[in-house]
Structure 1
């Protein structure tokens, strides 16, 4: 997590763009991405020179030609304003446009890079401010870039590109990716899901990531992201780079198009928040997706796409609008039937409607499913999230300390007490052991509890009543309800019995009250009469 001082430095960079007349947050982020890319190339050049000096061998893997020092960040940052502007605009940017390293995702997305900073004074200010931000440590690089991306979400309609980070983290924690996984997000945006997956894998499988075959897979084959917005691709690629992934597969692609059908069954995990109401060229939509679900609704087509992309045994955690859960069209019903009957629907986690405010008030849920091609749904686990740690209004104000926001990883099964102690709602020694949040905290943030109960979905959760916040529903009950997956279809509401008094009892009480009032008035009259004498 970045410090207050680092935040102030990033804020200063952002303010410099705004005061200089660049108000579009995506354009600001894009220009910062270009400059950070140039700064990184200079760092690589420095490392290449140091290796050459130590080994006494010729320079290898140097990004810049050795006779073009003026292209380097460490050199031009010391130029006078006009000279710096001329160098960066006329030499550095044309150079990175012509980089054609086929193995470099980042160089590929720089081919149409252009400097949008309008004058020399502003460029000097921005370069100076970026140069003061320490970005040597991997975690710091990633945290700083994430903080910048958060500014996109707080700057207007462009926030639609960014799923709340604590929701992403919950989904990744629940999916628990491993080094052998091949993960895809077909609507990757800024690559938030992929970045969270890299952080989880580094934290839980550090030894495998740092050396051997696991390291090669992690850096070259594990992460795949597709989008058809080049700005998002540039930002997403840089996000992955600054989180320490050398060559992720981040590509321009219309994931629903007929032309992109060659990687069916290629992935073991899907993490995504696909567009709910995007424009669709129905004629160019993949025919195999239309055969699965004949519709123009992008949220349904993306679900069909996820099933196509997954290999048998592959798993998915995806955000869908509530309409997917209960929509009455033939396409809605057939897709839900497929998830339940033909594959294994693991869970439906209902999110509160304010999660995506202020940009959208749509109600959503997270679907968890496994591709089997042979059924396997015994029961479906439901959880009704009522609080996510933030206010559910347009301000989205944190309700808890930062340490209590987001999910808290569940303790490994070998370290847990007997699961029977979890049966009592919020009580019992086991529940206290596994959930460090108090009852008051839970009322403000359910996410740690979601993760805790998810680990018990095939155990203690099976015994929960449908009156509780989470419960399991057998497959046959879902079939009987026409494959409706809305939580309220299965949740039971307990109404407390209210005992009403009979009319005669109420009249008797009113009569007593009336007699008391009359008696009081009589005493008051006597007191007034006595005082008059």
Structure 2
């Protein structure tokens, strides 16, 4: 069985189970099982040989280690009914692992992963079939484990058709491009406060690993310890932790909590970061208690605005930020947005906005989005450069079957250091932005194109069209009267 067929075969089995409803649950079911299998491989073949393992381990109690129940010979297996009962017991025990301040982080990770995970499968027969498929993969084989990284991308892309679960996935091309432009260096700390499945963090990991031909052991460890993520929802948190372990990060610093639940005034310098890259959820709302963690002038129900405020409080002086934001942030004029944009332009250098075309985040949203890049320089912005990302020839928009690709950002990469105006690039001064009441929604001024994005413009055009139709109707009626 090829790894490409693995995901399809497993999902086909799960579709026959009455307890699994939809792609999101199938992905969640598969991922906790993969996590336990991968974790067991690492524990048995690597961590068990650490000098202090006898004091810290086992991280998963022996009874519940994958190899001791799922990896046994078929002749020694428990029955299908016993399997379902055992898995229920396994979840109960792993959700309630005893931990304290001295507990190894890997054991804490197991508890956090299973705290909000669920077993959806009701058929022990089908569950054994899934287990058999998973056991065909040798995660102890370095090549096979890293080949599985590509298949993991397939699992993540399936989220795009899994309803609201799609919000957890940012196209790999976008995460790679943002990280490429931010250029994190070995020794710098990188954060994503709504990390989803860990796309930006993995792109940062690969970027730093590729920055030097021969990494020392110390440099490799420094890179692995430089990534910090926070994810509020259980399924993407589980996916992210599994993704990290697949990339040999044994101690993934991925917290399962709401990034907005801590007062932004309380972050000391050591809790700030050199590089922040993220795609915050937008269009959502937060409860009143969450808003109280922000200064009064920044309080809003819009989630993306709260994350922007969080970033402005958690980036180090000299730090760099790349963030995905909708058009609504650019032209929004409510009090909180104005305050955020004033702070952004007065204390940070908002040097680049890449305007993305429709379909980049298809199919779960068609909202127009932008990539904002800024540095914390303390002196503010003088001018903002805009670059209008071009669709490949023959494309009307990006789609699920025709997604954005990293090579399509080559034009931006070649332009980046030259900063010359052309048919796709233009610049705007800070004064122009202030004159427009901090509206950042500047269209390409090098191309004659009517701005039809705003409701008032659409309404004006509609009324003009209605008036023209009425005039034509009146002329036709007049001519008909003459004829009659």
- The TM-score range, normalised by the shorter chain, is 0.7 to 0.9
The question of 1:372 aligning with 2:370 is answered no
The question of 1:158 aligning with 2:165 is answered yes
Deviation of 1:206 (Å): 5.8
Partner residue in 2 for 1:429: none
Say which is worse superposed, 108-117 or 143-152, in terms of deviation.
108-117
How many residues in Structure 1 have an aligned counterpart in Structure 2?
A: 434
Partner residue in 2 for 1:263: 267
Q: 2:296 aligns with which of 290, 298, 308?
A: 290
Partner residue in 2 for 1:107: 110
Partner residue in 1 for 2:83: 85
Q: Is the 8 A contact 2:146 2:247 kept in 1?
A: yes
**Change in CA separation of 1:23 and 1:249 when aligned onto 2, cut-off 3 Å:** same
Unmatched tracts of structure 2, length 5 or more:
450-484
Partner residue in 1 for 2:243: 239
Q: 2:258 aligns with which of 247, 254, 260?
A: 254
The question of 1:5 aligning with 2:2 is answered yes
Partner residue in 2 for 1:384: 388
Distance 2:234 2:119 in 1: 16
Q: 2:187 aligns with which of 162, 173, 180?
A: 180
SS at match of 2:296: helix
Distance 1:284 1:368 in 2: 26
The question of 1:491 aligning with 2:453 is answered no
Structure 2 counterparts to residues 269-280 of structure 1, below 5 A = 269-280=275-286
Deviation of 1:46 (Å): 3.5
Partner residue in 2 for 1:321: 326
Q: TM-score, normalised by structure 2?
A: 0.79
**Change in CA separation of 1:130 and 1:389 when aligned onto 2, cut-off 3 Å:** farther
Structure 2 counterparts to residues 343-362 of structure 1, below 5 A = 343-362=348-367
Deviation of 1:282 (Å): 2.4
Say which is worse superposed, 359-368 or 64-73, in terms of deviation.
64-73
Unmatched tracts of structure 1, length 5 or more:
400-404, 409-444, 496-533
Distance 2:295 2:181 in 1: 28
SS at match of 1:347: strand
**Change in CA separation of 1:288 and 1:373 when aligned onto 2, cut-off 3 Å:** farther
Distance 1:317 1:142 in 2: 24
**Change in CA separation of 1:90 and 1:336 when aligned onto 2, cut-off 3 Å:** closer
Q: 2:175 aligns with which of 168, 180, 187?
A: 168
The question of 1:472 aligning with 2:427 is answered yes
Distance 2:13 2:234 in 1: 24
After superposition, give the CA deviation of every residue in 1:426-461 in whole Å (9 maximum; x if it has no partner): xxxxxxxxxxxxxxxxxxx4x22122222x2xxx32
Deviation of 1:117 (Å): 1.9
After superposition, give the CA deviation of every residue in 1:347-367 in whole Å (9 maximum; x if it has no partner): 011011222222111111111
The question of 1:309 aligning with 2:307 is answered no
Distance 2:265 2:132 in 1: 46
SS at match of 2:378: coil
| RMSD (CA atoms) | 3.2
Partner residue in 1 for 2:128: 124
Deviation of 1:319 (Å): 0.8
Partner residue in 2 for 1:145: 152
Distance 2:23 2:61 in 1: 33
The question of 1:44 aligning with 2:42 is answered yes
Partner residue in 2 for 1:407: 406
Deviation of 1:12 (Å): 0.4
Distance 2:268 2:149 in 1: 31
**Change in CA separation of 1:258 and 1:93 when aligned onto 2, cut-off 3 Å:** closer
Task: Choose 1 or 2 for highest CA Rg.
Answer: 1
Q: Is the 8 A contact 1:188 1:225 kept in 2?
A: yes
Q: Is the 8 A contact 1:348 1:485 kept in 2?
A: no
Q: Is the 8 A contact 2:291 2:300 kept in 1?
A: no
Q: TM-score, normalised by structure 1?
A: 0.73
Partner residue in 2 for 1:190: 197
Deviation of 1:188 (Å): 1.5
